[in-house]
A and B are shown apart, each in its own frame.
Chain A
Amino acid sequence: MPKVMIPTPLRQFTDKQDSVEVAGATVSEILGALTTAYPGLKQNLYTDEGKLRSFVNVYVNDEDIRYMNKDKTPVAATDTVTIVPSIAGGR
């Protein structure tokens, strides 16, 4: 199953796990399965209208899905999906 890398700020919603394996053949299937398994993630990943939030980027391996097929981007069982939210800390 594809592996989803969970960034630090969102691990509070995944029982502190830094990666989770979920089934799915596209990004939207995988994120759907992920937010079903961990409902707390939903509000952080999606807007009320069900759109992926614009300060959350999703990568399949090292490619940004915005430059592939967006949430329809295919994901193979050996792929890694990485969620990269905006962080601003520096001081």
Chain B
Amino acid sequence: MALSQEEIQRYSRHLIMPEVGVEGQEKLKAAKVLLVGTGGLGAPMALYLTAAGVGTIGLVDFDVVDFSNLQRQVIHGTKDVGKPKIDSAIESMNDINPFVKVIRHEVALRSDNALDIIKDYDIVADGTDNFPTRYLVNDACVLLKKPNAYGSIFRFEGQATVFAYPGGPCYRCLYPEPPPPGLVPSCAEGGVLGILPGIVGLVQATEVVKLILGKGDPLVGRLMLYDALGMKFRELKLRRNPECPACGDHPTVTKLIDYEQFCGIPAAPPPQPTGGAPAMGEIDAKGLKAKIDSGDKFVLLDVREPNEFQIGRIPGSILIPLGDLPKRVNELDPNADMVVHCKMGGRSAKAIDFLKTQGFSKLTNLKGGITAWSDQVDPSVPKY
């Protein structure tokens, strides 16, 4: 794919390097890369791969830009809040490099569309945020033999590697099964340092460029761990498992499956945190307000972290973070009537499971957590 005058000028810093040169830049121009997600990891990948001159970039995203995204998703700006992420991303990419063709896939990647979307690309970069999609992307890449530049992040910590490279391991070789829902916190629950996805996303982007150029030593069979607090990069060995159900010698995953089910997520849509009637053992925010107003004697236990407590709290609550509960359980009266809450209702459910094992019996979960309290009772409590 020959370069135009303008492209030669634009890519001159690449062209004068022997590892890229005209030949490498033409490879970049001919390459088709699919970015799954234009969030924390997808944003820096899209920006830099566009700038580098990857000829065709596909974006999969159906989300809308929110204020809470802007701390890390640098492809979107304040003016884009409320806009589809895909539109906002394409606008930035067109501005950086009009020579790049951007293909929009404004859908959720699912088992019934993943193969069809991925088949037209050479390389996939997974920047999603949930286990079902991660296993879906992995299996689709293994089935279609497309390398997958993988990255994932949590708080100050990142992981990156390349899966489904010929002869190399896949995500299922690393983790044969996903954790049960709720056991591993998401970034929405646990938080993430805004800069972290920049580092990890650009490791993924670097691997994409190296794979296209066919240069260097790809991050295959190695899991890179990055700890931003310690500023340490480590590398662990990763092997293809001959018994792997996806990429092993006798694969049993020969088509895409129901990944929600695989990850233990019920097929029916989960109840909205703020809608519907509360289930057994649950109270909704309005019910809690009525309980407080009636002068009922009960303990309101907040199991979030101290920094979340500082953002906002429900009056009268006491704070014992979920992780501290085992050693501080003796501060609580097992016979007390108790309402437990967190941000959304997940951690409080875990706290209740634990408290039950400790002989507590009068336990109620606040449905939808303090977020529902803010929505339904007191909007002056900030949502985060």
Sorted nearest first, the 6 A-B pairs with minimum C-beta distance are: A91-B39, A12-B323, A89-B187, A91-B129, A55-B179, A54-B177
Shortest Cβ gap from B255 to chain A (Å): 22
Knowing A9-B185, A12-B322, A86-B131 are in contact, say whether A62-B235 is a contact too (CB < 8 A). Answer: yes
Interface string of A52-77 (1 = CB under 8 A from B): 01110101001110110000000000
Q: Which of B127, B134, B178, B229 contacts A18 (CB 8 A)?
A: B229
The residues of A that contact B104 with a CB separation of less than 8 Å are: none
Interface string of B216-240 (1 = CB under 8 A from A): 0000000101010110001111110
Q: Which of B153, B156, B229, B324 contacts A90 (CB 8 A)?
A: B153
Measured CB to CB, the residues of B under 8 A from A are 37, 39-42, 63, 69, 73, 126-131, 134, 151-157, 159, 174-179, 183-187, 190, 192, 197, 223, 225, 227, 229-230, 234-239, 241, 321-324, 326-327
Interface of A is mostly: mixed
Q: Which of B37, B128, B239, B326 contacts A64 (CB 8 A)?
A: B239
Measured CB to CB, the residues of A under 8 A from B are 7-9, 12-13, 18, 39-40, 44, 53-55, 57, 59, 62-64, 66-67, 82, 84-91
Of chain A, the residue at the smallest CB distance from B128 is: A90
Shortest Cβ gap from B108 to chain A (Å): 13
Say yes or no: A86 contacts B179, CB within 8 Å.
yes
Of chain B, the residue at the smallest CB distance from A39 is: B326
The residues of B that contact A53 with a CB separation of less than 8 Å are: 179
Of chain B, the residue at the smallest CB distance from A11 is: B323
The residues of B that contact A86 with a CB separation of less than 8 Å are: 131, 174-175, 178-179, 184
Say yes or no: B230 contacts A87, CB within 8 Å.
no
Q: Which of B37, B174, B175, B324 contacts A91 (CB 8 A)?
A: B37
Shortest Cβ gap from A69 to chain B (Å): 15
The residues of B that contact A88 with a CB separation of less than 8 Å are: 128-131, 134, 152, 184, 186
Given A84-B223, A90-B128: 9 more A-B contacts, CB < 8 Å = A54-B177, A55-B175, A67-B239, A86-B178, A87-B157, A89-B40, A89-B129, A89-B154, A90-B42
Of chain A, the residue at the smallest CB distance from B175 is: A86
Shortest Cβ gap from B47 to chain A (Å): 15
Interface centre among A13, A86, A87, A89 (most CB of B within 10 A): A89
Say yes or no: B183 contacts A44, CB within 8 Å.
yes
Say yes or no: B236 contacts A87, CB within 8 Å.
no
With the chains together, A66 CA to B40 CA distance in Å? 32
The residues of B that contact A18 with a CB separation of less than 8 Å are: 227, 229-230
The residues of A that contact B151 with a CB separation of less than 8 Å are: 90
Say yes or no: A9 contacts B190, CB within 8 Å.
yes
With the chains together, A39 CA to B177 CA distance in Å? 24
Shortest Cβ gap from A49 to chain B (Å): 14
Say yes or no: B197 contacts A90, CB within 8 Å.
yes
Q: Which of A9, A84, A90 contacts B236 (CB 8 A)?
A: A84
With the chains together, A73 CA to B321 CA distance in Å? 35
User: What are 30 sample pairs from A and B whose C-beta atoms fall under 8 A apart?
Assistant: A7-B157, A8-B154, A8-B155, A39-B326, A40-B323, A40-B326, A59-B237, A63-B237, A64-B236, A64-B238, A67-B239, A86-B131, A87-B152, A87-B153, A87-B184, A88-B129, A88-B186, A89-B40, A89-B153, A89-B192, A90-B40, A90-B41, A90-B42, A90-B128, A91-B40, A91-B42, A91-B73, A91-B128, A91-B129, A91-B187
Of chain A, the residue at the smallest CB distance from B41 is: A90
